[in-house]
Amino acid sequence: MVKSLHRSFVAAALVVALAVGISAPVRAAESGPHAAWMDWQPGNDVTNVASLQRGAAHFMGYCAGCHSLKYVRYARVAEDLNIPEAQMEKLLLLPGSKKGDYITTPLSAADAEAWFGKAPPDLSLITRSKGSDYVYQFMKTFYADPARPTGVDNLALPGTAMPHVLSALQGVQEAKFKVVEKTVDGSKITEKIWESFEAGEPGQLSAEEYDAFLRDTVNFLEYAGEPYKAKRLSLGVWVILFLLVFTLFAYLLKQEYWKDVK
Ligand code: HEC
């Protein structure tokens, strides 16, 4: 009796294992193939102040024309990133802004809608809502597509309204796709699966320089999403040290209180 129970248990376990094994690849295919670009990471570090300074300059030079950082003030950036006031006024402030102002964009939402069909979102919290990796991948995966009004499309946000604003730096790469035919619910569809990027129109930067440019820009956006982060991380070490020392004193105190109680 016990033996046969045991045997049927093993058989059931095998069936479950097999079912999981068979269904796993099917499930993976349903959510689309995993492509190499989805693993790209900026490798940034919010405690690297020099990188944040470069990122701030990149943002003001290449992004602030369309995107705001409406929860971040210029003065806060200058203070956190050790940027002297004179330099901040020369390099960061948009014309007409004061150092106590929030970083807004001169582009009005109505103009943006008319020109791009979509208003560029505020980027204060973009790395927190979509992740730093996502922003990096978005900025790295523009490719030439003459059928689009902007002349480019994007792997991370297909059909995006944003033009490739860094094309002078990166160039405009070509994307190679494999076309596969699939039948979904009885109807045939063709699917484009990305295979690789190939050199197209060249830009001013090498591939490594462009990655470094993005690393700094994404780093600054990650800082903007949580200006206190670098301080929080360094403060954390002190909090743990304090707790360790406090534990020691609490233990000594307990020994003292209980020494006569047997
Ligand atoms: C010429 C205007 C313009 C400039 C300059 C610009 N963008 Fe954009 N950006 C847009 C528009 C328009 C959208 C909305 C795209 C959409 O939703 O299809 C957008 C969307 C985005 C998004 C959100 C994507 C998403 O998934 O919703 C990110 C991130 C972004 N831009 C980053 C940048 C960065 C970084 C720079 C500077 C290097 C920059 N943009 C410069 C117009 C611009």
CA atoms of 124 and 168, how far apart (whole Å): 25
User: Does residue 200 line the site of ligand 1, with CB under 6 A?
Assistant: no
CB-facing half-sphere around the CA of 130: CA atoms within 13 A: 16
CA atoms of 89 and 100, how far apart (whole Å): 11
User: Does residue 144 line the site of ligand 1, with CB under 6 A?
Assistant: no
Q: For tokens 């047997």, name the residue.
A: 262
Q: Is the pTM of this model over 0.95?
A: no
In the chain, % helix, strand, coil (3-state, to 5) comes to 50, 15, 30
Is the dihedral angle over the CA atoms 246, 247, 252, 256 positive or is it negative? positive
User: Does residue 254 line the site of ligand 1, with CB under 6 A?
Assistant: no
User: Does residue 65 line the site of ligand 1, with CB under 6 A?
Assistant: yes
- Measured from the CA of 58, which atom of ligand 1 is nearest? 38
CA atoms of 219 and 43, how far apart (whole Å): 9
- Measured from the CA of 118, which atom of ligand 1 is nearest? 12
Class of residue 225 by CB neighbours under 10 A (exposed 0-12, middle 13-18, buried 19+):
buried
CA atoms of 218 and 236, how far apart (whole Å): 24
Domain boundaries in the chain? 35-169+203-226
Is pLDDT of 3 > 60? no
Domain 35-169+203-226 falls under CATH 3.40.50.620: no
What pLDDT, in 10s, does the model give residues 211-247?
A: 999 999 999 999 999 998 878 888 899 999 999 999 9
Average per-residue pLDDT for the chain: 89
What pLDDT, in 10s, does the model give residues 153-211?
A: 999 999 999 999 999 999 999 999 999 988 888 888 888 899 999 999 999 999 999 99
For residue 156, the 8-state DSSP code is S
Ligand 1 mutation pick, 60, 62, 66, max ligand atoms within 8 A of CB: 66
